[in-house]
Amino acid sequence: MSKLRCLCSELLDLNLIPNPQAFIVVADTAIEDIVQDQIQICNDATIGQETRNDRLFFSLLSMRNKGVAEGVECPQCGRIAIFGRPGNDPPDVWYKVEKRREPNLGLISSANQLKRH
């Protein structure tokens, strides 16, 4: 699955790396396991730096950890498609925006505003 048709009919490109519309959803209960997994990869002296970087990246994105999902926000309507597993088609859940603090301010835009503060 490389493109996803939003319920509003917008076509979302899922091949972009990094994808400015995508984010990772992590359950609060999964964070410790993820951190431990990342530490274990960092401490593995048998792997080279490039392999280590790949493993760190894919250990999160491959969703080996329970409680990790991927979200993609539609830039047109703000709906969020949630994938419990990569490549699930259709998405497991669609969320629709009911209220925004500011019009046209999506989830990712909000998060990017927080990064600057």
How far is it, in rounded angstroms, from Cα 41 to Cα 27? Answer: 21
Would you count residue 107 as binding Zn ion (CB under 5 A)? Answer: no
In terms of CB distance, is 6 or 69 closer to Zn ion?
Answer: 6
Residue selected from 79, 80, 81, 108 as contacting Zn ion according to rule CB under 5 A:
79
Backbone angles phi, psi at 53, to 5 degrees: -60, -45
In terms of CB distance, is 38 or 88 closer to Zn ion?
Answer: 88
Would you count residue 76 as binding Zn ion (CB under 5 A)? Answer: yes
Give Cα 66 to chain centroid, integer Å. 14
Site stretch for Zn ion (CB under 5 A), options 31-39, 49-57, 65-73, 74-82: 74-82
Site for Zn ion in 17-46 (CB under 5 A): none
Would you count residue 55 as binding Zn ion (CB under 5 A)? Answer: no
Would you count residue 108 as binding Zn ion (CB under 5 A)? Answer: no
Would you count residue 77 as binding Zn ion (CB under 5 A)? Answer: yes
In terms of CB distance, is 40 or 76 closer to Zn ion?
Answer: 76
